[in-house]
């Protein structure tokens, strides 16, 4: 949360020059507070795991948040108990009349397919179009980010020669961007995908800005519309053992997966993983909630 200081305090100019978030007394007195309204379109088959990971990242903040869990109606997950979906999830038709401060679109295990071949593609396109007018800031994750960049901006994805899996170092390219308040110049984040969106394609579009990338993993974060749309290619929300579970799952299927890079102790899958991304992953979600949702969303969502 911001530091509230007197309007004329000399430290204000110094702190602002260091990219420290300060709030003047005037602004604090004129802020109205209400719970943030968020929704998450969960496209993962293991919905309970994904919702738990992301809600954990959203919960570490003093902000009060109300979250609607959304599923597609054109495709129903067979990996999540039906009673869980009926109890906790809504369809797009049930919420299309709502407006939200923030919206999250998760990844999905369909990245090898052409976008148009995905069963729920038409519905997803409708939802992505709807977010432009009914959501203040939308955070897209992994395949969800690829899908949004393709749908909104015509940016293609490319099949990689082999799956990229592991925890990689990334450079902050825009250190004064609010999303990176408190970040180190280099930070680590997990990736797990068979395809990529290329940073050069994103840079070629004047509506898009590349914010962070990796020498090994490529594009990591891009944004558009002054943070109204954020695209994250990795999985900062992953638990310590997520990549481990994926690796041994693929081994069990008779596949020959590469050992996730920079992840296991001594790169030995018989040894425990080393968690090196949790703090920056948490900070990513906290900064998004604070600076791209809470600080800029209208008090009356009807005015969005």
Return the active site residues: 142, 235, 237
Tell me how far apart the alpha carbons of residues 182 and 189 are, in angstroms, rounded to a whole number. Answer: 15
- Angle at 33 (CA atoms; ends 30, 36), nearest 5 degrees: 140
**CB neighbours of 279 closer than 8 A, spacing ≥ 6?**
none
Any bridge partners for residue 230, and if so which?
Answer: 139, 223
CA distances from 220 to 117, 156, 165, 298 (A): 25, 15, 14, 29
| Whole-Å CA distances, 124 to 70, 142, 148, 157 | 11, 15, 9, 17
Residue matched to tokens 């930070």:
187
Question: Of the candidates 162, 174, 152, which has an alpha carbon nearest to the alpha carbon of residue 105?
Answer: 152
- Which residues 6+ apart lie within 8 Å of 172 measured at CB? 180, 183, 184, 185, 186, 187, 211, 212
The DSSP symbol for 264 reads B
Is 196 in a helix, a strand, or coil? strand
Q: Answer for the pair 193, 218: CB distance below 8 angstroms, yes or no.
A: no
């Amino acid at each position: 949360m911001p530091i509230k200081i007197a309007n004329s305090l000399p430290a204000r100019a110094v702190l602002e020059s260091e990219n420290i978030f300060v709030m003047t007394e005037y602004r604090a007195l004129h802020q109205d507070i209400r719970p943030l309204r968020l929704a998450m379109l969960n496209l993962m088959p293991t919905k309970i795991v994904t919702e738990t990971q992301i809600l954990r990242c959203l919960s570490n903040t003093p902000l009060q948040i109300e979250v609607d869990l959304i599923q597609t109606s054109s495709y129903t997950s067979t990996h999540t108990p039906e009673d869980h979906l009926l109890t906790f999830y809504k369809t797009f038709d049930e919420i299309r009349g709502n407006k939200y401060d923030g919206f999250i679109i998760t990844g999905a295990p369909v990245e090898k397919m052409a976008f148009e071949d995905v069963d729920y593609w038409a519905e997803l396109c409708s939802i992505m179009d709807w977010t432009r007018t009914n959501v203040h800031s939308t955070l897209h994750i992994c395949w969800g980010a690829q899908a949004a960049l393709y749908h909104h901006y015509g940016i293609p994805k490319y099949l990689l020669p082999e799956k990229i899996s592991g925890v990689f170092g990334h450079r902050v390219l825009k250190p004064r961007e609010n999303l990176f308040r408190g970040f180190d110049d280099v930070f680590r984040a997990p990736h797990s995908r068979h395809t990529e969106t290329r940073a050069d394609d994103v840079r070629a579009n004047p509506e898009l800005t590349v914010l962070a990338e990796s020498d090994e993993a490529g594009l990591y974060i891009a944004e558009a519309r002054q943070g109204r749309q954020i695209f994250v290619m990795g999985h900062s929300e992953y638990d310590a053992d997520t990549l481990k579970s994926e690796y041994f799952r693929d081994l069990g299927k008779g596949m020959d997966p590469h050992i996730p890079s920079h992840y296991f102790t001594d790169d030995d899958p018989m040894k425990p993983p080393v968690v090196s991304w949790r703090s920056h992953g948490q900070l990513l979600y906290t900064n998004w909630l604070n600076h791209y949702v809470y600080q800029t969303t209208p008090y009356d969502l009807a005015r969005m």
